[in-house]
Chain A
């Protein structure tokens, strides 16, 4: 691995910057050797990942160190790529969008600063992982539940800032944030919401403060480094019930999505529902070769064998209900009445009551089981996600799914889809699995992703989140009034970060030529 001065820096200038960083952090927490750099290569990189290689890593442990790092970065015009824990797998993990940026790894800032049982809220540093927070709550027997994403290895705050999701009532993670502490690109410190008052007592109680609310500005952006975040937690309910509905036919997506979306809009279902295809389930417990070894896309007949053997439907929707006993029982009755006549069988929910083992409940329990899916094709696997936002219309979603499935088959990729049902939208996740060391697979993935982006944009559907390799492409698809939103983002960026030292190009903001 050659030594890489960051974009726009000379080797001598880079050495001076590293020496200044070492003075602040100590030698141990400024990592620039090959061995350390290779541990930061995205494990799911398309190919060797060196196209997103970093030049060094800085690992501060305090807010003051982060402030000092940003001031030094401005002096030397050193681009920094902040990550909370660097586990944004499928989106580039810790790797910077632009090759040569220095990774600002906040993993050591991992304190749970406060958990307020009565307010059901906590205050976290960005290095706190889902497992850390879960252990903290359980060890203290606090009746507070968290929402967890499919890959729970990462940072609670980082996931929320990237608008990651989970599948419990607090699953819109960015909406559970309440009050941020942010180091701005010039090294100054700001608190949002009520925290803007010295000694404020309601920082985690009310999000908006007085005047504009800036929290969203720091999500999916490069306008500051979030060093503390307040977050709401779910008070433990009295009862939960859960079930996985197996919807038998592909075309059933239209009616089933309409029913589930209606229940979601009414808050009868209070969480993001995953509605996934057979490969989604099969890839968490088996490998492709267990089912099929042929070339090209997995034939439908094989998918049907999987469904039979694993007890799956063409679409599989996990539904959970939360509340007091009376309301959960009423919701069960309602869902049975809606689905049993169509599915032709009685639905049996797994019911949990307070005091039962938590595994039986519909609480968010952190897991890395979902990461198994990258082994689908064998070898060093990875996944890439394209997930445009659709309105809640079952027929529209089905028509779109048919088009996408046909294109997967055309390029020879196994179809893996899920629809995530949000409060007013459906997110059509097209997951693309691959063996990163197979050049033909990597080329296919790239072709497929670009096609999906184009197809979605032509249908009026835009992507909600983006992999580092495609951030500019996704940003360019937001093209109303000649890309006016991107221009606004770039104006804000230029005002706050005139040297463009903070994550240049993140989400297509401040991209350098």
Chain B
């Protein structure tokens, strides 16, 4: 306690002119002090599909990508039980539209349900068709996206 009180007083007394860069400490910078353990959603996830010609992909970008693209919880959990290159939903080749719809309306493990107010049946159909329509296509996701209208 004494230490912290003394420190508080030192701060009060600190003139602006004293705030010059500190002398570098003798020890080398260590990673722990700079760790940023909580990643944030990537911008590429937030804007995923924004320019797509496919309405299903655009909707996926608005409603799903922030958890399922890049470093976030949907991708993280799927990476634990899917092949490494299929942790993001658009990379999946095994999704059936009906399965997508069932998961969205019922939830799955930590994935919450989506209501018909937040995502109408018509919108969900577009997302499910887009995700599910990829199953027979062996092309890479990007080629696939370009091909679909």
Interface residues, chain A, with chain B CB atoms under 8 Å away: 29, 31, 35-36, 38-41, 43, 57, 59, 85-86, 89, 93-94, 105, 107-108, 131, 134-135, 138-139, 152-153, 242-246, 254-255, 258-259, 262-263, 266, 281-282, 284-285, 310-313, 316, 318, 329-334, 336-338, 340-341, 343-348, 350, 358-359, 365-372, 374-375, 379-381, 394-395
Contacts and interface: CB of A to CB of B under 8 A. Distances in A.
B84 interface: no
A79 B21 CA distance: 61
B25 interface: yes
Interface stretch (B90-98, B114-122, B126-134, B135-143): B114-122
A312 B116 CA distance: 42
A284 B37 contact: yes
A368 B72 CA distance: 7
A244 B40 contact: no
A365 B40 contact: yes
B13 interface: no
A360 to B, nearest CB: 11
Nearest to A261: B8
Q: Which DSSP category, helix, strand, loop or mixed, fits chain B's interface? A: loop
A336 B72 CA distance: 32
Interface of B: 1, 3-5, 7-8, 11, 14, 16, 19-22, 24-25, 27-43, 46-47, 50, 62, 66-67, 71-73, 76-77, 105-107, 109-110, 112-118
Nearest to A310: B37
Contacts of B38: 281, 284, 318, 369-370
A31 B116 contact: yes
Contacts of A43: 107, 110, 112-113
Given A43-B112, A337-B22, A371-B110, A311 B118 contact: no
Nearest to B42: A359
B66 A366 contact: yes
A338 B7 contact: yes
B13 to A, nearest CB: 12
Given A284-B37, A367-B41, 10 more contacts: A31-B117, A89-B112, A138-B43, A246-B35, A258-B8, A266-B11, A345-B33, A368-B66, A371-B73, A395-B1
